[in-house]
Structure formats: structure tokens, C-alpha cells
Structure 1
Amino acid sequence: MKRRNFLQQLSLTGASILTASAAGAAATASFQQPMPAADKPFNLNYATHDGMFKNSAGADFIDQIKFAYDHGFRSIEDNGMMARTPELQKKIGDTLQKLGMNMGVFVVTSDNWHWKTSLTTGKQEWIDKMMNDCKIAVEVAKRCGAKWMTVVPGNYERSLSFEYQTANVIAALRKASAILEPHGLVMVLEMLSDNPDLFLRHSDQAYMICKAVNSPACKMLFDMYHMQRNEGDIINNIDKSWEEIGYLQIGDNPGRKEPGTGEMNYRNIFKHLHEKGYKGILGMEHGNAQKGQEGEVALIKAYRDADSFL
């Protein structure tokens, strides 16, 4: 849990705090060092998440969203959106609309079944769960203004060959696409590195599945932290699978913290994405390397540094 360069913020004046949201300003007033005055939007569209700025803006997610906007971020993502009340989903969506911000991904699952051996089995019970969750997700997306949602096909089914499992996943995702596509929604398949039991782990594998599903409602979520762990060669693998990538996420490795805390050259990666004309969201799917408000100051500066590729 590392963080750096906080001391470079000490020269900033307390007046910079006044540019933040009211909640953010109140929280900052009790902190000895000011947040950086960085109102200008970033070159790319980075998405914060709940808790990332809780020490600066308070525990309320709406206040955190406003704080993020004041510091140049133009999107959020929220894995747990489906578990929030419909009233809060709509409040978040209304806040984003008023600020001109975008909603990134939320996870399509009602009870974390995606961590179980599920769609790979071909069993009807899991297909039914997927279809039901997609129908719920359509309504959630309407309330919060989302377009993308994360889908994980589950764990490896050791009683079946890899090919049969792949066919089962494709069949299930085609049915899910039929629910989402009429609403202009996109499920993005995430390749993960958390444990070797997970079925979907590599970009070429996800690329092939998306090609086979053959729907604009089924694309790839290229999480660069997971892909650095599983296969590396990030820029080349992004290029190879580019036409099926619908969403990207960030996290340095090792540690899964903000850019500049690990081995990955995010300034070069961001520059490459910008040159490719990427206009989508890059989810900040990572933790803060330092605790407290100091860590939040350092996180903003880390993104300013990595985003300074022009």
C-alpha cells in the first residue's frame, strides 16, 4: 500500500480548496494540507468509485461524485450498483446527468454467482440466473444512466472439456445479448487473475468468445491490472483485440493501486489509447496506495502525472 509525491502538494494554497464541492471543502478544512486545484478535465475519461475520496468528501457517494468532478474526473463506476436501492440508483444517475458525467460499469449479478462454477456448465439453472439478472440490469441501467455492465462467466467446470465449456458460455451470452441489445446496453466480459479456477483469463479467449457471440451487446472488459498478471504485453494485446474491447480498467501491478505505484508505464499506455482515438471510460478499478486524505491527494497527482502525455 504505497503512495508517493504527496510532499509536492504542500506548496499549494488553501484557496484551492474553495474550488471543491461543499462537502469536499468542509472535509478538507480539517486536514493540514490542501487538495490540488485541478479543475481541468483529464485528457482521458477516468472513472472513480465509491470510497476513493471518502476522506476528502465524506462517506456519502453523491458528495464523492461531486468532489471527483471538481478535480477533473468525468465518470464513475460502481460494481455494487445492483444492490443499491432504486431511489439511490436514480439519485446517482440524476447527479451524473446534472454534472455532465458518465456512468461506467456495474456488475451483473444478484448474489455473486459469477464466482461459482456457473455458465461453463451449460445447466439451465445458471442460464436462468443470468437471464433474470440481465432483466434486472436493464432497469438499473435506466435509473443510473449506465450503458456497460460487467459479466464474469464463472469458474472452470472440470468435468467438461475446455471446448464444451466455451460453447456453453457462448450460448448463454447469446441469450443475454438478446435481452440487452434492444436497449443499447453492453455486457463486457472481464478476464480475471484472482485464482486459477476462473474460466475466462486471457484476452485472446475473450476476443474469440465475443466474435462467436457476434452481438454489439457483448464486448470485452480489458482490465490492465489483471492482464498484466496473466499475460503482459499490454499495448500489443490491446491492439490485437481492439475491435472487441468495449471498456478498459486501470490498476498498477503489483499492488493493484494507482498508476506510478508498480511496474506498468501508464503514461505510455494512456498515450497509446489517446492516439488510437479511444473516447470511452477507463475505470479506476484499484485501491489507494496510501491511507487517508494524503493518499487521495497522491492519487489525484498520480493521475495528473500519467495523463500528461501530450
Structure 2
Amino acid sequence: MLVLSGASAAGFAAATNAQTAQLTPRNEPFRLLYAPHFGMFRHHAESLEDQLQFAAEHGFRAWEDNDMGSRDEATQRRLAAKMEKLGMQMGVFVAHCDFSKPTFASGRKDHQDLVLADIDRACTIAGRVNAKWCTVVPGLVDPRKDAGYQFSNCVELLKRCCEKIERNRSELVMVLEPLNFRDHPDLYLTKMAQGFAICRAVGSPHCKILDDLYHQQITEGNLISNIDASWPEIGYFQCGDNPGRKEPNTGEINYKNVFRHIHQRGWKGIVGMEHGLSQGGKEGELKLIQAYRDADSFYDEHYGLEGGGGT
């Protein structure tokens, strides 16, 4: 057990305060719209509203919540009001995600009905929480069908989903998330090029790609080239380093370069922080914030970008 003398304790406290001060000015917005989620700052703030407040005070201008659809209506409306007051933009919530059935690839009516009901519900939730994006994971592959038929079934169902959104919530965008084969085997959608082809075939502004850089680093890598090739069909980004799926600077992805690249391309959308923390407690949460400050402080002589301030 470490016992500090009075002088040593004072020095330790000063060092800790200095480390925290490096995060200031606390309200300085990040250059990109990074979106934390509930639980990420639970050691600094207990209630859901206080977690939003803490994030806003440290420069975050967006938020995402996969579980928003499972919250009761009163909570949804309360959180939406808090985000609006703080000037925070709502990111994705999950509209449809099934890891047990080929919901899109099969072409079966019962699968289609399930998906369409989920999209109906997503339109209602999006209206309550001012959301512009919802996540869709198009289920498993159907091993009994040729790839061409699976593709056609997926596209046709997505077109029906888009028609429903256009009627009920015209600003909502489904973002299709390719997931990696290691964490989620046998899923239908896994690669960026596949997502690009599907979105082009659907041909609707309500159907875009969610480029989760953690998943794509595992599946195929080549992150920046795939971003460029898929750019017209990307509607949302998420991140997490690999291995470990923790904050930037804990794995092999050079997030400063990736963030700089999408900023240079004019990205104005959200970058969801769908990952865990490499360290527990308040210290880990401060480390997380500092990791994003570091990754957001990209600099390029040609473009003259520096610092972590707002656009």
C-alpha cells in the first residue's frame, strides 16, 4: 500500500489536477461530431441527463443510443428535450438487428413483415427523439439461396422500407451496418463494397451505409481507400480501435489520419463512439476524452488544419 506524505500528496493532487486541466477549455467543441453513449461517463455523472450534460461540457456535440427504442416514451421525450437544450444532435438508435434469421436475404413474407414493423416503430421513435439515423443489420445469409437471389431479396425489402419511411418520417435514414465475421459470423452484410452495391441498387436517400471502422478493420482493412470508394453512400461513421474495441490510440488504427481524412472530405455527420474504455473509473473516462482530443488535433500543412476546435 502506497502512503504519501503531506507534501507528496499535495504534489500528486497537483499533478492530477494538471492532467485534468489539459482537457480544458471544457466547452471547446471537437472538430468532428463524436457521439458517446450512455454509460461511457457513468463515474462522472449518474443520471442519463447528467451524462448528457457532462459530455456537452467536455465538447461533445452529438450522442447515440442503441437502446433508445427500448426506453419508455416519457424517457425518450425527456432525453430529447435535454439534448435539444444542450445543442446536441441525436445519432443512431437500432431499428432492426437480428442475428438469428436471414430476415433480408430469405425473401420470406414473415421475415419481411417483421422488418417492416420494426421500421414503422423506428419512424415513431425518430419523431420523439429528433433522430435522423437508425441502424439496420440485414440478418444472416440464407445458405439455401444463390447470392443473386439473396441480393435481390435484400434490395426489394429495403425499397419497401424506404417507401414506408418516405410516408411516415421523410428525414430518417436507415444506415446499413456491415459487421465483421469474427464477432458476428454468417451475417449477410460484411463489406463496404457490398453495402455500396446494395445502396446503389436501392437508389434512395433513406438507405445508406454505416461505416463502423472497427468492424471494417477486421473484415478488410484499407479503411481510407474504402471510405473514398464508398463515400457517396456513407451516411454515418462509428469507431473503436482494434484489437480490443476501445478508444483511439489503444490499437492499430491511426485514427488521427482517418479523422483528418474524413474532415478534409467535408464530413459534417456523426462519428459514433461505439466501443468500450481501456481503463475503469473516472481516470479511464478522462483518458477517453483525452484520446479523442489527441485524435481530433490533426494537423496537415497543405490544409492548414490544427488544434481540436470547432469548424
Q: Flag as ranges the 4+ runs of structure 1 deviating above 4 A.
A: 34-37
Partner of residue 112, structure 2: 127
1:181/1:114 CA distance change after superposition, 3 Å? farther
- SS of residue in 2 equivalent to 1:204: helix
Match of 1:289?
Answer: 278
User: CA-to-partner distance for each residue in 1:133-186, whole Å, 9 max, x for gaps?
Assistant: 111111100111101000011011111111111111111100001111342110
Of 204, 211, 225, the match for 1:236: 225
1:72 aligns with 2:59: yes
Q: Which residue, out of 269, 279, 282, partners 2:268? A: 279
1:35 deviates by 7.3
Q: What whole-Å deviation, never above 9, does each CA across 1:194-219 have from its counterpart, x for those lacking one?
A: 23301100000000000000000000
Measured after TM superposition, the shift of residue 38 of structure 1 is 2.5
User: Relative to structure 1, is the Cα distance of residues 305 and 13 closer, same or farther in structure 2, using a 3 angstrom cutoff?
Assistant: closer
1:242-257 mapped onto 2 (5 Å cutoff): 242-257=231-246
Identify which of 70, 76, 84 aligns with 1:97: 84
Q: Over residues 114-145 of structure 1, what are the superposed CA-to-partner deviations in whole Å (9 max), with x where a residue is unaligned?
A: 54322111101111111111111111001111
8 Å CA contact 1:114, 1:154 repeated in 2: yes
Q: Which 10-residue stretch deviates more, 174-183 or 74-83?
A: 174-183
Q: Is the 8 A contact 1:12 1:36 kept in 2?
A: no
Tell which structure's C-alpha radius of gyration is larger: 2
1:219-278 deviation line (CA, Å, top 9, x unaligned): 000000000000101001000000000000011011101000000000011111111010
State the distance in 1 between where 2:88 and 2:18 align.
Answer: 27
1:294 Cα deviation (Å)? 1.0
* Partner Cα separation in structure 2 for residue 165 and residue 277 of structure 1: 34
Q: Normalising by structure 2, what TM-score?
A: 0.87
**Equivalent residues in 2 for 1:49-64, closer than 5 Å:** 49-58=37-46, 60-64=47-51
SS at match of 1:154: coil
Q: Aligned equivalents of 1:254 and 1:116: distance in 2?
A: 28
8 Å Cα contact 1:47/1:284 also seen in 2: yes
- Pick one of 193, 202, 206 that aligns with 1:204: 193
The one-letter amino acid of 1:108's match is A
TM-score normalised per structure 1: 0.88
For 2:190 and 2:118, the matched residues in 1 are separated by: 23
CA contact 1:192–1:201 (8 Å) conserved in 2:
yes
1:209 alignment partner AA: I
Whole-Å separation in 2 of the counterparts to 1:122 and 1:149 = 22
Matches within 5 A, 1:178-193: 178-182=163-167, 183-193=170-180
Counterpart residue number, 1:83: 70
> Is the 8 Å Cα contact of residues 23 and 290 (structure 2) preserved in structure 1?
no
Q: Which residue in 1 is equivalent to 2:137?
A: 152
In structure 2, the residue corresponding to 1:92 is in which secondary structure? Answer: helix
Aligned-pair identity (%): 47
Gaps spanning 5+ residues in structure 1: where? 1-6, 17-33
For residue 43 of structure 1, the aligned residue among 24, 31, 50 is 31
Number of residue pairs matched?
283
